[in-house]
A and B are shown apart, each in its own frame.
Chain A
Amino acid sequence: MTDTESKAIQAKGKTEAATPAEQTRPGFVFTPAVDIFETDKEITLLADMPGVKAEDLLVDLHENVLTLDGNVRPPEGPGEVDVFREYRTGRYYRQFTLSEIIDQAEIKAGLQDGVLRLTLPKVKAATPRRITVKGQ
């Protein structure tokens, strides 16, 4: 993406998410920024979830609804006092409805440096079969 290389990033606050169910634990819930793109073979989703460790991330695909749920443990150590605070940490939560049929067994998910990369391969289209019609 050469066209964006020299552009300065604009500061954007995190967007708080509206969770479908009420929370039992107090805390903030944010919507992660995502990129979604599709090729003939698969759908790829990239999500920015800084601070989420692999063991705290839940990716679930159930009846075409893809759920991303990542928990962030507060990075501050004990005895630290805020000097100033511009962002908050909390859960990341987002749901997507997929219109394609996904090959569930082949889903790949990787989390590196706070970015989730999820590869959702499409189910191979049924190969056309020729049906021979027998005559009498």
Chain B
Amino acid sequence: MTILELRAVHRVHGDGPTAVHALRGVTLTVEEGELVAVMGPSGSGKSTLLNLAGGLDRPTKGEVVVDGTVLGTCTRRALAALRRRRVGYVFQDLNLLASLTAAENVALPLELDGVGVRQTRRTALAALAEVDLDGYGPRFPDELSGGQQQRVAIARALVGQRRLLLADEPTGALDSQTGEAVLRLLRSKVDAGAAGVLVTHEARHAAWADRVVFLRDGVIVDTSGPLDRPDELLTTPGGSP
């Protein structure tokens, strides 16, 4: 089942001679159980792609479809609800609210969605246990290590019915062992039925994905992975028909 679909998406920031074409006709699908890594130099459009996928930004042209919903047709309110219910984010830092405990952080999206307090708490604790943080619910973020904080962020990203996980350099500040543990967890969460997009500039991290998409100047220039589609490979630099 397709969880995320980008159809010929363009995003232009500004207009006139100073317009910046962040994305130029990007087409990408992410299936259930699939982790797709997006690699590319700074300014290649990686973050724009992630923001569009999560409904945080709107394309100038083209369509973004999340779980069957075309985001362009949604009202602001519907989009906010979809983001809350369907999409989870993990960033490099600034993931957790410092004044809330780990359990409260994980529970937040459910609470905002009007789920009852008792059920919210039960779900949050179960989500923490799933990322090997059983018993850590009452701790505040500054009482957790960097790796544990990222685990809490992943638990929160996938709490409830959310199945699209968008990660932007989630291992950025972590040492290689801790970073790898976070990627293993991300991988296992996706294997269990979520869909993930991982933005990174580290090949070692991207290698945990099923497919690696190379973005350059807003264009997908290549894709590597066992699910390669030959037609995608044919659109090589300079070779567009």
The answer to whether A and B belong to the same complex is: no
